[in-house]
Structure 1
Amino acid sequence: MAINKSNRHKALHVSYTAGTGGGKAVAVQWAGMMPKSPCLSIFDPYGDYVYKKGSIDNTGFANKRVYHYSTKATFAKAFASAWASKKPFRIAYKPAEPSREEMLWFCKLMWLASDGQRRLDVIIEELAKWCDSTGKEQSAFGECLTGGRKFGLVMHCIFQRSTEVPKTILSMTPYKIVGIQETLADAERMARECGIPVNDILALDPLTYIKKNPKMGDIERLDLRHIYPDA
């Protein structure tokens, strides 16, 4: 199970929310919240980070190869080997039939592996699809959010609509990166979370974001349109 608890670790969990075409995956790669050489584990049900050799587009994770595995056995073996090496890695679990149960199994493995002496970055893609309510998340995923900081876990939660995810996610992610929103309700919720006028969010373009830092009122503007200049 999780070992080497330390309250000295900073709270670094991040939520990324943007509508279709808003650039959530771009933000998680290029918004500066990920170490340059991470120990990175991804729940990637739809292959958003599959590496395509020779592609002119940005593929993998920040143009680095991500190794994908489609069964629990092969992923667990690959993750255990990568984590034991104490070297940077980028691996992903891409189950043949994605489900909440598969996501929770993945999170339980991350929790069991977490070591307060090392940082482990964990991405959960399409999070709203794996949530069964908008109330408190009481599960292995919820445990990674609420207790993971003390054990070196940094959770990166990615979703389209904030109104479809549990309140635990927004309350436990001190960093929030907000792109274009699909509905007024989502824009209003994230405006409240960030403490800004809703019009600031409604004015966003694809690949532009508002970044809410932990300190109240600490807001940044991010523009990642240079990553995909033809978008």
Structure 2
Amino acid sequence: MSRPFAAARVLVSHRRSQGSDFVLAVFLAGIAGASNAGGFFALGQYTSHMTGYLSQIADNLVIGNLLVTATALLAIGAFTTGAAFSTFLVNWARHRMGRRQFALPLAVQGACLACFAFGGIFTTLPGRMFALACLCFIMGMQNATITKISGARIRTTHATGMITDVGIECGRALYRLVQPRRAVRPDGAKLRILLSLIGTYVVGGIVGALGYAVVGFYFSLPLAGLLLALALPTFGAAGGRMVPRPGHR
């Protein structure tokens, strides 16, 4: 068994460690950043900013812009559906496919991202709406997948939450300087993980912006290939049923 295949199987294995969670989260954060930036270049919309879409609904309902309101509702609905579908797949695969419970949703995300690569053929407004929904669906799937894998410790598209957590740790560090005798202290390991994820997300965004600006929708193909390369080796591994971990639902 070659090392790349072995590494991929470890990263999506049902047996988790903080190290494998971190590496997988960094990998997915880069893809999320690239996909999100690419969605803006290809569609003029960011596809993981649910807070922004909620604000759009409120603002545009007030001014009577029903098209923008409908677009925001579509994006939120697709993201939520993607998260729900990922959770369904994880639970279904846990009971039907044994150790492949995390590989399956990643493989489906890769397949969906490959389909998005051909979204450029949809030049009409309904077609572009479909492409937007597709990418939001993928973003929802990915965020739910890493949330399930890490036991809700890590999210890869929720930049607002990550940056908030960075601010909290910085506040703890400042308080520690002012009141060194108090028990309050920053979590250095958590801060390093957060900064790594944010940095990877930004780098992925730069790569995605450049890629989609040059080749358009087709830049989704290498991103899809990365997800499939991560997930598919697990399907060649020996099967077997497993006992679900407590707390996984």
TM-score, with structure 2 as normaliser: 0.27
Kindly indicate which of the two structures has a greater share of residues assigned to helix.
2
Higher relative contact order (CA 8 A, sep 6+): 2
Kindly indicate which of the two structures has a greater share of residues assigned to strand.
1
Larger radius of gyration: 2
TM-score, with structure 1 as normaliser: 0.28
